[in-house]
Amino acid sequence: MNAQQLLKTEEAISFVKDSFAKELATQLHLIKVSSPIAVLDGTGINDDLNGVERPVGFPVKSLDERRAVVVHSLAKWKRVRLQELGIEAGRGLLTDMRALRPDEDYSPIHSIYVDQWDWEKHISPEQRTTGFLKATVERIYEALRTTETHVAADYPEITPILPGKITFLHAEDLLKQYPTLTPKEREHEVVKQYGAVFLMGIGGELSHGEPHDGRAPDYDDWSTETEDGHRGLNGDILLWHPVLETSFEVSSMGIRVDKHALVRQLALRGCEDRQELSFHSRLLAGELPQSIGGGIGQSRVCMFMLRKGHIGEVQVSIWPEAVREELAGAGVGLL
């Protein structure tokens, strides 16, 4: 790929990011705010993801060598920030999150650098329902569809493919439909069929004793019983990627734990000791607002909108030399 083509790609990336961020903020009534690249260790603020990923850490000289860690995401920080900024119910915050995840396995859709739109919205206790969750997902999906329309108007080689509606499914129903397939194989089948799916109930054990995928116990509520008899007030937005020809996750999100769900989920994961950490003790004391939130991958959205087959085509990261050589041989230019 020559310099002119790379520059055109960079311009298109900026267009996608600007367009989607504007649409998302409008749909969800979000205010753009600043956010940290690192937080102090031992506060419970950093996102534990699946509970096994190691954060990048370093000592801070001016704080008597106290250890800080580069964020994995801002799932819990955002909820604290809602309270600190006094954001009222019905409104929320939006920030550009930059993270390092050195334990991430390289793939066409994974690198060790993570860039996403992190958002969090203050809600009332009465809105902790699947109905409200679905309505929020539909607004995010509308922002994605509008962005795709804008991209197609400016880049005629892009043809809109997102269906008019997103389909809602629960991980338990997916297990019953495809009992012999792996979780990723199940996702592949349903997203190929529907084009866009919100898969609910990520993190809690399903009827066969295993979760569909991992979730930390202290941000998304994956254990509350819902009106339809399932469990979980969270999920993933999955799209069909026409180049990779597979299910493609662009967002993980959900209604956040209240104090009852937090206690329950910490017990289920055997980490009740976290209740003593700053974030957790504040939540249990009722000092933090009820909220819904999530992360939307910036590079993932750009990959989808610009029909790119490798994440390195839309973000600058660190890659093994063998990967660079293989992609260069296939005519794929990494940024």
Torsion of CA 268, 273, 49, 203, to 10 degrees: 10
CATH number at residue 204: 3.30.930.10
The pLDDT score that the predictor gives to residue 75 is 82
Overall average pLDDT of the 252-256 stretch: 96
> What average pLDDT score do residues 151-172 get?
95
User: What are 144-156's pLDDT values in tens digits?
Assistant: 999 999 999 999 8
Radius of gyration in angstroms for the set of CA atoms belonging to the chain, rounded to a whole number: 20
Between CA 276 and CA 98 the distance in angstroms is 28
**What local confidence, expressed as pLDDT, does residue 44 receive?**
66
Confidence check: pLDDT of 139 > 80:
yes
Longest dimension (CA), the chain: 58
* Structure confidence by residue, pLDDT tens digits, 70-105: 887 788 889 999 999 999 999 999 999 988 887 777
- pLDDT for position 16: 95
Q: Which domain holds residue 85?
A: 3-329
If phi > 0 it is left, if psi is from -120 to 50 it is alpha, else beta; for residue 209 that is left
Examine residue 334 and state whether it is found in any structural domain, yes or no: no
Domain membership of residue 226 (yes or no) is: yes
Alpha helices in 43-119 (DSSP H): 75-85
105-109, 147-151, 188-192, 212-216: segment of lowest average pLDDT: 105-109
Establish if 335 belongs to a structural domain: no
Report strand pairing: 66-70 vs 196-200: unpaired
Element (H, E) at 100: strand 92-100
State the average pLDDT over residues 20-33. Answer: 97
> What pLDDT is stored for residue 6 in this prediction?
77
Q: Average pLDDT over the chain, rounded to whole?
A: 90
Region 188-198: what's the mean pLDDT?
97
Q: What are the catalytic residues?
A: 47, 101, 116, 236, 249, 252
User: With contact defined as beta carbons under 8 Å apart, do 140 and 237 qualify?
Assistant: yes
**Token duo for residue 237:** 């937005």
Total domain count, the chain: 1
Which phi and psi (to 5°) does residue 218 adopt? Answer: -120, 15
The answer to pTM > 0.85 is yes
Q: Which amino acid, residue 16?
A: V
79 close to 291: Cβ distance less than 8 angstroms: yes
User: The tokens 């997916």 sit on which residue?
Assistant: 174
Asked which of 70-84, 95-109, 197-211, 275-289 is least confident by mean pLDDT, the reply is 95-109
Task: Please give the Cα distance from 294 to 317 (Å, whole number).
Answer: 23
> Which has more confidence, 32 or 106?
32
> What pLDDT does residue 315 have?
84
* Mean pLDDT, residues 51-65: 80
